[in-house]
Chain A
Amino acid sequence: MPRTSPPRRDAWKRSLRLIAVLLAVWFTASLGLGVLLAEPLNRIWVRGFPLGFWFSQQGAILIFLVLLVVNAIAMDRIERDADQPEDTEDPS
């Protein structure tokens, strides 16, 4: 095994947990509420939208955007805690 520093390995585990949570929300918001549950949700109208239709054509996209903001901020924190190097140089 290559040498890996313990705090950085810990950071990888933390980022895996973060990815799992964000992917769960990603799936639920789009394929879950927008597709699998679209039919029952469409019977509920909120502010001029049937809910399943709204998730599939508006809501999912907005939730994706929130996920990416959360991801960028949380990963910044994880990497800062682990003191990860900023990889500015091209490996060659």
Chain B
Amino acid sequence: MSIAGWTLVFVVGSFALYSAIAVASRVQTTSGFYVAGRGVSALANGMATGADWMSAASFISMAGLISFMGYDGAIYLMGWTGGYVLLALLVAPYLRRYGRYTIPEFVGDRFASQTARLTAVACAVFISFTYVAGQMRGVGVVFSRFLTIPVEYGVAIGGIIVLLYATLGGMRGITYTQVAQYCVLIVAFLIPAGAISWMMTGTPIPQIGFGSPLIEGERAGVALLRAIDQIHTDLGLPEYTGAFLAGKKTLPDVFAITMALMTGTAGLPHVLIRFYTVKTARLARWSVMWALFFIAILYTTAPAVAAFARVNMIQTLHNTPFAEAPDWFRNWAATGLIRFTDRNGDGLMQYSEGPGAELAIDRDIMVLANPEIAELPAWVVGLVAAGGLAAALSTAAGLLLVISASVSHDLLKSFLRPGMSERQELVAARLSAAGACVVAIIVGIYPPDYVAAVVAFAFGLAAASFFPALVLGVFTTWVTARGAVAGMIAGTGFTAVYIGWFKVFEWSGPEAWWFGISPEGIGTLGMLINFGVTWFVSRRTGPPPPDSAKMVAMLRGER
């Protein structure tokens, strides 16, 4: 059977599974809709969190990015896993002890302020929409390449599946489809990774193959990473494993980006709400551990895949005549994601980087193209396509729930229509989930140009808004409502202006970056500004009302 045939089998099969779960996990209560009735086990919650968190970016883009970044790829690997340590130690169990349904609700209650709650709603909705756009683009890429279905139909089909289980089952439906999606995506990631590791280093475990010698080719017997460093040196590129070399990121920038991604992870609402779905604070801690366990399986494999892909790609393409280019190269060239320009007219493809390069290769295709590059059977390629869709759809669903709960619970129920009955709130929640889904489909079909630019913004914003508010809310008693609001506004305002200035409008170049920190890492500074402003304003407007001490004692389990 062809690649398209197998892809169709896996995609239709997995979509049928998700739909069946959706119908089986319908809910009738707001508690079921928002927090799955708090009946999820730590293991299932960990798995669901893994799928929720690992987006199209983790599955489709990350290994490809690392493959082109070498050492610098560590910002994603450490940044997107280190945040779970912060979550487990500083946030998740306390959030669960508080209970209730949303993150803005926590912020509003802890600081006894509707303004704080509304500020948090604005941040949550903005972060989530930014993210959804990226997921939908991932869905489009998979459909257009593997099923030769126009991108619009692909996005619409994926969107309707999410619409089905998000509106029927709310958090309950999302949780159990995410468990299924985790299984699909991790199998789809590990099978080709293991096969490639086996072919190149003789061990099927990629994490071990990563440090093993190559078994074939002109560099047989040389350790994989040494071989890549040599290839890079021969091509005049900075060493793959080298840190802070010319042409790579600087130390302060790597530090700041890693920190911003870690603290951003610990402040992303769609991840945070997952810890409301278990019974106790204790189970919240164990869920974070399981979540990191399931994430680490993919995150320790991805850098190995990146290294294998690096060797494979350069060895199959460099100095190969264009006329003899492999099949996968032609397939991807047809989508426009690979381009060859014969600049020196010798008919050979020379690999280099920078403005004069003959080969332009989109980073996003490496994981999807990898099984084809390694000449794995067609069914593996189809499985990878289904895995990419699982990663994108599971994250999209979690984000849509945040948007839906922000509208129905934080805006309508607490602010605009406090008299709503539970039935009415549930209808409102379903309608806003459906509405958000339709917007996501439209954004996926007509992706705005700034999507890539604002993804950095989502993390920076989460780091500069929620993380300090949550941590100070649990670990200090002196923060006042005005302090918290001023901190969130100053932190996000600064981050927004910096990213807008350097990344969206590009009014200045990298030479003007503060302390050498790129817009991706500026959330770290925004977070520090948030902490500073919160402290300063709380000093002037304190002390906080006596009730807040009671709530803090409850969060800490002191009473």
Nearest-CB residue, chain A, relative to B80:
A61
Q: Residues 241-261 of chain B: 1 if any A CB is under 8 Å from the residue's CB, otherwise 0?
A: 111100000010011001100
A3 contact set on B, CB distance < 8 A:
559
B85 contact set on A, CB distance < 8 A:
22-23, 26, 64, 67-68
| Chain A interface category by residue count | 35 or more
B207 at the interface (CB under 8 A from A): yes
Interface-central residue, A22, A62, A72, by most chain B CB under 10 Å: A72
B289 at the interface (CB under 8 A from A): yes
Q: Which of B31, B98, B99, B559 contacts A8 (CB 8 A)?
A: B559
B559 contact set on A, CB distance < 8 A:
2-5, 8
Q: Contacts A35-B254, A56-B71 known; A2 to B225 CB distance under 8 Å?
A: no
19 sampled A-B residue pairs with Cβ under 8 A:
A8-B557, A8-B558, A9-B558, A12-B558, A42-B242, A42-B243, A48-B225, A49-B211, A52-B243, A61-B296, A62-B300, A64-B81, A71-B289, A72-B289, A75-B285, A79-B557, A86-B280, A87-B280, A91-B98
Instruction: Return B347 CB to nearest CB of chain A, in Å.
Output: 37
Nearest-CB residue, chain A, relative to B243:
A38
Give Cα A61–Cα B255 distance, bound, in whole angstroms. 16
Within 8 A of A (CB), among B64-83: 66, 71, 73-74, 77-78, 81-82
Classify the interface of chain A: helix, strand, loop or mixed: helix
A45 contact set on B, CB distance < 8 A:
223, 226
B251 contact set on A, CB distance < 8 A:
35-36, 39
Q: Which of A19, A26, A48, A62 contacts B212 (CB 8 A)?
A: A48
A68 contact set on B, CB distance < 8 A:
84-85, 88, 285, 288-289, 292
User: B296, A42: Cβ atoms under 8 Å?
Assistant: no
Give Cα A53–Cα B557 distance, bound, in whole angstroms. 41
B90 at the interface (CB under 8 A from A): yes
Nearest-CB residue, chain A, relative to B71:
A53
The 7 closest A-B pairs by CB, nearest first: A48-B211, A56-B74, A48-B223, A68-B289, A38-B243, A4-B558, A57-B303
Instruction: Return B73 CB to nearest CB of chain A, in Å.
Output: 7
Q: Contacts A71-B88, A79-B282, A87-B97 known; A34 to B550 CB distance under 8 Å?
A: no
> Interface of A with B (CB < 8 Å)?
1-5, 8-9, 11-12, 19, 22-23, 26, 30-31, 34-36, 38-39, 42, 45, 47-50, 52-54, 56-58, 60-62, 64-65, 67-69, 71-72, 75-76, 79, 82, 84-88, 90-91
B288 contact set on A, CB distance < 8 A:
68
User: B243, A60: Cβ atoms under 8 Å?
Assistant: no
Nearest-CB residue, chain B, relative to A1:
B549
User: A91, B303: Cβ atoms under 8 Å?
Assistant: no
Give Cα A43–Cα B94 distance, bound, in whole angstroms. 42
> Interface of B with A (CB < 8 Å)?
31, 38, 66, 71, 73-74, 77-78, 81-82, 84-86, 88-90, 93, 96-100, 207, 210-213, 223-226, 241-244, 251, 254-255, 258-259, 262, 279-282, 285-286, 288-289, 292-293, 296, 299-300, 303, 549-550, 553-554, 556-559
Q: Which of A53, A60, A84, A90 contacts B225 (CB 8 A)?
A: A53
A71 contact set on B, CB distance < 8 A:
88-89, 285, 289
Interface-central residue, A36, A48, A52, by most chain B CB under 10 Å: A48
B282 contact set on A, CB distance < 8 A:
75-76, 79, 86
Nearest-CB residue, chain A, relative to B257:
A35
User: B213, A48: Cβ atoms under 8 Å?
Assistant: yes
Nearest-CB residue, chain B, relative to A47:
B211
Q: Contacts A30-B78, A48-B225 known; A62 to B296 CB distance under 8 Å?
A: yes
| Additional pairs, 16, CB under 8 Å, beyond known A49-B211, A91-B554 | A5-B558, A8-B557, A34-B74, A35-B258, A45-B223, A53-B74, A57-B66, A57-B73, A60-B77, A65-B292, A69-B289, A72-B289, A75-B282, A75-B285, A87-B280, A88-B279
Q: Contacts A64-B84, A69-B289, A88-B280 known; A58 to B303 CB distance under 8 Å?
A: yes
Q: Which of B74, B81, B550 contacts A2 (CB 8 A)?
A: B550
A42 contact set on B, CB distance < 8 A:
241-243
B550 contact set on A, CB distance < 8 A:
2
User: B99, A87: Cβ atoms under 8 Å?
Assistant: yes
B556 contact set on A, CB distance < 8 A:
12
Instruction: Return B247 CB to nearest CB of chain A, in Å.
Output: 15
Interface-central residue, A45, A60, A64, by most chain B CB under 10 Å: A64
Q: Contacts A42-B243, A48-B226, A50-B225 known; A64 to B286 CB distance under 8 Å?
A: no
A23 contact set on B, CB distance < 8 A:
85, 89
